[in-house]
């Protein structure tokens, strides 16, 4: 019996026809099956994001486990982003030619095997392999989660399905901070990886048991696509490495940063020039360089920089003063509640004709949150940050789906732009997050040095307040230290530590003000664009009416 050609066109009912090449068809499902698709979709989204979130939330603990320097352990989340960004170049065409399920199942198996064998090797290099494999799998699972959600909802609620699929992975970061401490208590770092392995196995079983409906396939790969990949992938990887470790090795002191940045620029520009001159490019550079797409990409990048305040700013500050994840549980719940409320609000309010207003609302909430955080003091603890972090969580979920849907129109009108848009969206989120952490972290270090110098100028024994503080510290340690010279040294050291703490507080407050300024500038720019478009449309209408 002859086998059916997998690339032969299929006959679809009007409601079944896939929206884009490589996406599954949308047949009618029973209610229990729709519920199952929805649950598997959320599970797949969390599997794609939770493993990296667990590592990011526990970098300090893992640093001790692997006996690594801070610059070495920082590679764990970095290699995840490096592979996640790069694989998007091939993922879209792979599922168009071979089907998304084959790719996802294959990489899920690879991910399970790498995670399993890492349990027997207490080595940083094997941990880096797990994170690299996870980055590739997560890129596939993010698309897979969206497709499962599309199957879970009827056609009239398709936008709600897209919203849940797009934003579902953002739940991973607060969830990771809620229970990762218990996993570490089970068997130190192996507790994290046992959970990650179990989650991957459950997802693999669910994906195999509940398969997506088939879609159209076509031979789309060209040999020149791989030239672009081997130019752009290492270029983006080097850029991610520079952004992640630049502020740790410091930008102007480590020679490898300059060489990596220069080589990254050469590779990325070479890939863009190569693609620009292709007849059938992998990346449509002309579409990507259009005004509307450039503006959309810049807006998503700026918002992602603002949202970096949450990890680099608030959690960075709380970890600096010695708090662990178990002491920030209320903060994790507040962020989780904000994200859930943001997803719900986005599902209920999203409209294809009004995609700008959710972004404006999110920016306004981010400005309020940053201004609230900028009033922090040495006594500020997680319970004083619940409202601001709830607002940031809400804003991070509320803007995401409208921002992505704003670019989908150009993809539906010209399906070949799908690869370009996937790369643009992935870069704005992943590279934008790294860029935000690099900018805010560098700014915080710079401002801390500035405030430290100002405070140090005032720490003189000619100041009676300084002498009074030294006496207080001396009284604190006089029962522990008998030598008067050592006692005086310890008191002065304690005073210097207090000065450094206050300088860091002021620096973090300046960082929050910076994020508020970036969000305000972005908001003003968007409002100006909307006002300009409205005035242009009104003038065109008046002119057309006058000619008639």
How far is 201 from 126, CA to CA, in rounded Å?
A: 19
Are the C-beta atoms of residues 206 and 83 closer than 8 Å to each other? no
pLDDT surpassing 70 at residue 14: no
How far is 50 from 269, CA to CA, in rounded Å?
A: 33
CA atoms within 13 A on the CB side of 408: 15
Q: Give the tens place of pLDDT for each residue, 501-545.
A: 888 888 888 998 999 998 899 899 888 888 887 888 788 777 777
Q: Give the tens place of pLDDT for each residue, 421-441.
A: 777 777 777 888 888 888 888
- pLDDT of amino acid 8: 62
Are the C-beta atoms of residues 491 and 473 closer than 8 Å to each other? yes
| Tokens found for residue 439 | 């900018």
Q: Minimal CA–CA distance to 288: which of 279, 275, 305, 278?
A: 275
pLDDT surpassing 80 at residue 96: no
Q: Give the tens place of pLDDT for each residue, 47-65.
A: 888 878 888 877 777 777 7
- The band of 1, judged by pLDDT with boundaries at 50, 70 and 90, is very low
Residue 505 makes CB contacts below 8 A (sequence gap 6+) with: 317, 376, 377, 378
How far is 487 from 16, CA to CA, in rounded Å?
A: 80
Mean pLDDT (the chain, rounded): 80
Q: Show the DSSP H helices in 459-483 as ranges.
A: 464-477
Average pLDDT, integer, range 478-490 = 69
Q: Give the tens place of pLDDT for each residue, 169-214.
A: 888 888 888 877 777 777 666 777 788 888 888 888 888 888 888 7
DSSP 136: H
- pLDDT of amino acid 244: 86
pLDDT surpassing 70 at residue 404: yes
pLDDT surpassing 80 at residue 342: yes
Please provide the distance, in angstroms rounded to a whole number, between the alpha carbons at the two ends of the chain.
Answer: 68
What is the CA angle 343-344-350, rounded to 5?
80
Residue with the larger pLDDT of the pair 114 and 453:
453
Average pLDDT, integer, range 76-99 = 81
- The band of 15, judged by pLDDT with boundaries at 50, 70 and 90, is low
Dihedral of the alpha carbons of 222, 104, 429, 334, in degrees to the nearest 10: 170
Residue with the larger pLDDT of the pair 79 and 123:
79
How far is 4 from 325, CA to CA, in rounded Å?
A: 55
How far is 46 from 146, CA to CA, in rounded Å?
A: 12
Q: Give the tens place of pLDDT for each residue, 141-155.
A: 887 888 888 888 887
- pLDDT of amino acid 263: 92
Instruction: Identify the weakest region by mean pLDDT among 73-77, 464-468, 517-521.
Output: 464-468
- The band of 412, judged by pLDDT with boundaries at 50, 70 and 90, is low
pLDDT surpassing 70 at residue 13: no
- The band of 274, judged by pLDDT with boundaries at 50, 70 and 90, is confident
- pLDDT of amino acid 482: 64
- For the chain, what percent of residues have pLDDT higher than 90? 3
How far is 474 from 243, CA to CA, in rounded Å?
A: 44
How far is 185 from 181, CA to CA, in rounded Å?
A: 6
The residue count for the chain: 548
pLDDT surpassing 80 at residue 111: no
Are the C-beta atoms of residues 173 and 57 closer than 8 Å to each other? yes
């Amino acid at each position: 019996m002859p086998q059916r050609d997998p690339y032969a066109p299929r006959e679809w009912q009007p409601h079944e026809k896939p929206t884009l090449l490589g996406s599954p068809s949308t047949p009618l499902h029973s209610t229990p099956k729709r519920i199952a698709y929805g649950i598997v979709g959320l599970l797949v989204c969390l599997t794609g994001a939770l493993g990296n979130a667990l590592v990011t939330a526990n970098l300090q603990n893992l640093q001790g486990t692997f006996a690594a320097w801070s610059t070495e352990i920082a590679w764990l989340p970095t290699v995840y982003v490096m592979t996640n960004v790069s694989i998007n170049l091939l993922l879209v065409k792979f599922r168009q030619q071979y089907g998304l399920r084959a790719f996802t199942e294959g990489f899920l198996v690879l991910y399970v095997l790498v995670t399993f064998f890492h349990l027997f090797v207490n080595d940083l290099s094997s941990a880096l392999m797990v994170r690299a494999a996870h980055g590739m799998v997560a890129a596939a699972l993010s698309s897979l989660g969206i497709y499962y959600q599309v199957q879970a909802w009827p056609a009239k609620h398709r936008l709600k399905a897209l919203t849940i699929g797009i934003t579902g992975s953002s739940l991973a970061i607060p969830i990771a901070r809620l229970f990762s401490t218990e996993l570490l208590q089970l068997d130190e770092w192996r507790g994290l990886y046992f959970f990650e392995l179990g989650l991957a196995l459950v997802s693999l079983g669910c994906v195999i048991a509940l398969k997506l409906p088939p879609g159209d396939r076509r031979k789309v790969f060209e040999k020149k696509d791989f030239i672009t990949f081997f130019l752009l992938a290492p270029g983006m990887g080097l850029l991610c490495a520079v952004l992640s470790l630049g502020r740790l090795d410091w930008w102007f002191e480590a020679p490898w940063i300059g060489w990596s940045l220069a080589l990254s620029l050469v590779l990325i520009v070479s890939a863009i020039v190569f693609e620009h001159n292709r007849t059938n490019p992998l990346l449509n550079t002309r579409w990507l360089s259009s005004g509307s797409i450039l503006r959309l990409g810049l807006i998503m990048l700026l918002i992602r920089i603002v949202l970096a305040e949450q990890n680099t700013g608030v959690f960075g500050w709380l970890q600096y003063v010695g708090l662990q994840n178990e002491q920030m549980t209320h903060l994790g719940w507040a962020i989780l509640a904000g994200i859930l409320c943001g997803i719900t609000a986005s599902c209920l309010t999203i409209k294809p004709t009004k995609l700008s207003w959710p972004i404006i609302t999110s920016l306004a909430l981010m400005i309020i949150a940053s201004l609230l955080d900028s009033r922090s003091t040495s006594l500020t603890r997680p319970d004083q940050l619940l409202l601001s972090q709830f607002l940031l969580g809400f804003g991070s979920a509320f803007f995401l789906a409208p921002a992505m849907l704003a670019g989908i129109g150009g993809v539906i009108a010209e399906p070949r732009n799908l690869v370009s848009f996937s790369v643009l969206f992935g870069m704005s989120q992943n590279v934008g997050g790294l860029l935000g952490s690099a900018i805010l972290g560098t700014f915080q270090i710079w401002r801390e040095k500035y405030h430290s110098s100002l405070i140090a100028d005032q720490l003189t024994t000619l100041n009676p307040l300084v002498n009074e503080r030294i006496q207080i510290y001396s009284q604190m340690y006089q029962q522990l230290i008998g030598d008067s010279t050592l006692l005086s040294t310890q008191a002065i050291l304690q005073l210097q530590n207090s000065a450094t703490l206050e300088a860091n507080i002021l620096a973090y407050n300046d960082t929050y003000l910076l994020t508020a300024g970036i969000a305000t500038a972005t908001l003003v720019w968007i409002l100006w664009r909307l006002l300009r478009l409205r005035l242009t449309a009104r003038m065109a209408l008046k002119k057309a009416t006058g000619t008639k």
